[in-house]
Homo-oligomer: A and B are copies of this chain.
Amino acid sequence: VRIKPGAPRDPGRRPTRQRALVARALQRQPRAVSAQELHRSLRRDDPRLGLATVYRALEAQVARGTARRFERQGHVSAYVACPPGHHHHVICDRCQRVSEIPEDLLRSMLRAVEARDGFRIDHASLDLYGTCADCQRKTRSVGRASAS
């Protein structure tokens, strides 16, 4: 149930001012940002930019493979621009900075998991959360809470 009656046949391809705005703003962010955060920040440039448009632009990028979506705590989607083919990231809990996990480090672990109990990792979305080097340096004295 993917294509609805009146839906565009090939959505998200037509270049528009709004999509360029969203794409550039995302590109500039080394952090994972939510649609609402992006919307708030972009509204300064264009007060008429709609929230739904931001959502649609971001999802179009995800579909094209030029961005990736994460589930942040609290049921919020956060987006990161990324070159197609890179699927795994480390995300800083404090500043949301994103770093990539190289494929080769993963592969051996995934193989071992697959072999162990016959699981096949289909679309392995492996996103680790931690603290980046900068934030570690900056916050020697700040306590963390997370118990999960």
Residue A92 CB within 8 A of the other chain: yes
Number of interface residues of A (CB under 8 A): 47
Interface of A is mostly: mixed
Q: Which of B99, B120, B123, B147 contacts A117 (CB 8 A)?
A: B99
Q: Indicate if the CB atoms of B128 and A124 lie closer than 8 Å.
A: yes
Q: Indicate if the CB atoms of A131 and B119 lie closer than 8 Å.
A: yes
Residue A93 CB within 8 A of the other chain: yes
Q: Indicate if the CB atoms of B132 and A118 lie closer than 8 Å.
A: yes
Residues of B with C-beta under 8 A to A65: 147
> A122 to B94, alpha carbons, bound, how many Å?
11
Q: Indicate if the CB atoms of B148 and A69 lie closer than 8 Å.
A: yes
Residues of B with C-beta under 8 A to A129: 121-125
Q: Indicate if the CB atoms of A148 and B117 lie closer than 8 Å.
A: no
Residues of B with C-beta under 8 A to A148: 62, 68-69, 87, 123, 125
Question: Contacts A118-B136, A122-B144 given; 20 further ones with Cβ under 8 A?
Answer: A63-B147, A71-B75, A75-B75, A87-B148, A92-B119, A93-B122, A99-B117, A101-B113, A106-B109, A108-B109, A113-B128, A119-B132, A120-B131, A122-B129, A122-B131, A122-B146, A123-B130, A123-B146, A123-B148, A126-B128
Interface residues of A (CB under 8 A from B): 2, 62-63, 65, 68-69, 71, 75, 77, 87, 90, 92-93, 99, 101-102, 105-106, 108-110, 112-114, 116-126, 128-133, 136, 144-148
